[in-house]
Chains A and B, each alone.
Chain A
Amino acid sequence: MTFQDLLRADLRLVTEMIPHGSRVLDLGCGDGSLMAHLRDEKGCTVRGIDLSPEDIASALGRGLSVVQADLDAGLTGYADGSFDYVVLSQTLQVVRRPAFVLGEMLRVGQRGVVTFPNFGHWRVRGYLALRGRMPVSRSIPFSWYDTPNIHHTTVTDFRDFVAANGGAIEREVPLVTREWAGQIRRVHIWPNLFADTAVALVKRAHVRGA
């Protein structure tokens, strides 16, 4: 099993989107798996932000630089455009101010890479429609009252959200990540219904040809 295989499915796709030698800021970087991969395999310069002491400690052990910070407080310190890519994986749904966080991503980065669970997936829709209860699934494994996920979105809603907040989606990759362990499959038909996760490459709307 290669290191690539150990990365979470959506993160593998993120690494494919980021060119060799890029400067990358990983928001909600966890234990630094993605950062270490980008540094060691793709020669990237990486920085991270996370809240968890355990994750920061793990990242330190990998020689990574991670700052404990609340994304809702903004990306203070980082100069405008100081990164090529700012990654926000599976974290958009937990922030209090998604629009502000997206704005900060596009301020300090040339491009943002956002991965998020798709609340429009057929299982989620079916769960709510048939059971009349807030969906609990493998990708959304929390009861409504104790979930950290306070801003669920769908593939379609995300497009509107980016457009309404000064961004433009450069590339969108809807995925099914749950069918086979460790395997991901791209969704080509009706992504808002069949993708359980999406990865989007976002840039500032007013930047032309960047």
Chain B
Amino acid sequence: MSEVTASGPHVLELAGGLDLASGRRLEHVQIAYETFGELDAERANAILVCHALSGDAHVAAGPDRFGEERPGWWDPVVGPGKAIDTEKYFVICSNVLGGCSGTTGPGSADPGTNAPYGLRFPLVTIEDMVDAQAALLDHLGIGRLACVAGGSMGGMQAVAWARRYPERVVSVAAIATTWRLAAQSIAFNEVGRTAILGDSAFMEGDYYEQGQPRHGLAVARMIGHITYLSDDSMRHKFGRRLRERAEHAFEFVTEFEVESYLAYQGRKFVERFDANTYLYMTKAMDYFDLSSGHATLAEALAGIRSRFLVLSFSSDWLFPTYQARELVDALKAADAEVSFAEVPSPYGHDAFLLEPEQQRQYLEPFLARIVSEERERARQPAAVGGGVPS
């Protein structure tokens, strides 16, 4: 057991590699992670935050892995005095396995060839990502997590944690997420992948010398952004407004505000994200099914002790409320402790990034209670279990 690392960005070389759900094995795994706040004496206040498709370890403000001060991807929710308060809790966030922000992924060098893996990188699942995080926590000497929290693909990891490591997860905050994608979401992912795979610069994934398939990745991101918004938010944000002109151009140029927004999001994305990672992440999401191996989700969740807080957003049509309710109903049927609320918001799926106050309303009392109970439990001399599996 090593000492918990000081706040800031770190890299862990995972000794012993990682066995994957596909049956393949990664011998060399590096995990980029950041920590915020301090672990308390009882080791009762550790919260793991899992990031979504395009996220990274930089969940809250501070120096990133390049030493640059910048806000975190969940800045309104995680930080000093925020809903996930880094003055009270020890927050850990790592870049997922298969990612492109410091953790081993398709863009990393294959130790066999010293060239980037590309598509030779094994397919990873949400559960593989969770296993990598568990190995990180072993390294940090954290046996039990007061909470695993995440939105979207991060929420998938959070619920997967509860099934995979039930004895380590005191509570789960599953936000704007689902227990498995419906056909509609798989369809959007496939359109994104098709755009990348069909880009002539893709070169079977071996594009790292020449530069990545910018057009395909940008299109994938544009489609993604449409699914993160809502009809309502688009009407209010853009309407039919034209950009820098009063009349139609009668040419195929960027005219409408919404076109300009999507083009900008696409351009910005290709500067920071790897096309192969996009393929791997979307595939991992498509494969994810919390009920796998069981006839029903309730059966798969039987005996789960973690306490759940499930939040959905009223205008989220990518991870709609009915899917959150399916998860909640299965948890009820499995006799788990589950709380649920649908947050009213016009912002679509993006609401989990844009509605900090409404999330705080639930997260703050939920986390405060869990951590105080965990401290109480740690002080009981008879407390057993919860140590790091040796």
Contacts and interface: CB of A to CB of B under 8 A. Distances in A.
Contacts, number: 57
Given A60-B339, A60-B366, A77 B329 contact: yes
Main secondary structure of the interface of B (DSSP, over half): helix
B13 interface: no
Contacts of A69: 340
A63 B366 CA distance: 7
A63 to B, nearest CB: 5
A81 interface: no
Contacts of A201: none
Contact of B362 (A47, A57, A64): A57
A62 B337 CA distance: 13
Contact of B340 (A63, A68, A78, A82): A68
Interface string B311-322: 000000000000
A61 B365 CA distance: 4
Given A56-B339, A57-B365, A60-B366, A67 B333 contact: no
Assign chain A's interface to a size class.
Answer: 20 to 34
B43 interface: no
Interface residues of B, number: 26
Contacts of A57: 361-362, 365
Q: Name which of B329, B331, B341 has the most chain A CB atoms within 10 A of its CB.
A: B341
Contacts of B309: 60
B333 A79 contact: yes
B42 interface: no
Nearest to A25: B332
Interface string B148-186: 000000000000000000000000000000000000000
Interface in A82-112: 82
Interface in B332-386: 332-333, 335, 337-343, 358, 361-362, 365-366, 368-370, 373
14 contacts: A53-B341, A53-B343, A53-B358, A56-B339, A57-B362, A58-B365, A61-B368, A63-B370, A65-B338, A68-B341, A68-B342, A76-B325, A76-B329, A82-B335
Interface of B: 307, 309, 325, 328-333, 335, 337-343, 358, 361-362, 365-366, 368-370, 373
Interface of A: 47, 53-54, 56-69, 76-79, 82
